[in-house]
Amino acid sequence: MSAANQKPGAKSPTILVVDDDEDLRSELVELFGRIGYKVLEAANGIEAVEIARDKRPDVVLMDVGMPQLGGVRAAEIMTLLRHTEQVVLMSGNPELVAEAASHRGLAPIVLNKPLSFDICRRVIDSLAKPGA
C-alpha cells in the first residue's frame, strides 16, 4: 500500500535516502515526502548506519558509490545489526553490485541509475511496512 493511500491514523512508513549527490538526494527526499513517507537522509554510508541504528527506518534507499563507506558495506552492517530489514541499492552497474553483494551474503534489490522515480516508488511501496 502506498504511503499516500494509508488508512487514516496509520503511521507513515519511514525511508532513509542515502546518496552523496546532494541534488539527487534532495529530489528523492522531496518526492517521497510528498507522497506521504517520513523521510530521513544521509550523505554517506557512515551517516546512514548511525541514522539507521537510531531511527530504524522501514526501508533504506542507498547509493553504492560513496566516500568513506560504500553502500554495499553499509547495507551489510545495517543488515547484520538489524537496523533495518529492507535495503534497496542504486547503481549505474546493478549486475556488478548484485554480484558483489551476494559475496557478502546479501540479496538486495538493486535499481539502475539514472533512476526512474516511478519504478523506484513501486519498489519502495512494495517493501515499506508502516510501523514495522
2 lies in some domain: no
Cβ neighbourhood burial of 3 (10 Å; 0-12, 13-18, 19+): buried
Domain span at residue 97?
Answer: 13-127
69 lies in some domain: yes
Give 37-75 pLDDT, tens digit per residue: 999 999 999 999 999 999 999 999 999 999 899 999 999
Contact 4, 12 (CB under 8 A): no
- Paired residues of 87 in beta bridges: 60
18 lies in some domain: yes
What is the spatial distance between Cα 28 and Cα 26, in angstroms, rounded to a whole number?
5
Contact 45, 70 (CB under 8 A): yes
132 lies in some domain: no
Domain containing residue 122: CATH number: 3.40.50.2300
38 lies in some domain: yes
Give 11-29 pLDDT, tens digit per residue: 899 999 999 999 999 999 9
Type of residue numbered 84: T
What is the spatial distance between Cα 131 and Cα 99, in angstroms, rounded to a whole number?
31
Query: What is the number of domains present in the chain?
Result: 1
Q: Which of 94, 130, 123, 131 is nearest to 28 (CA)?
A: 123
109 lies in some domain: yes
What is the spatial distance between Cα 70 and Cα 63, in angstroms, rounded to a whole number?
8
What is the spatial distance between Cα 109 and Cα 23, in angstroms, rounded to a whole number?
23
DSSP state of 35: T
Give 66-111 pLDDT, tens digit per residue: 989 999 999 999 999 998 889 999 998 878 787 777 777 777 788 9
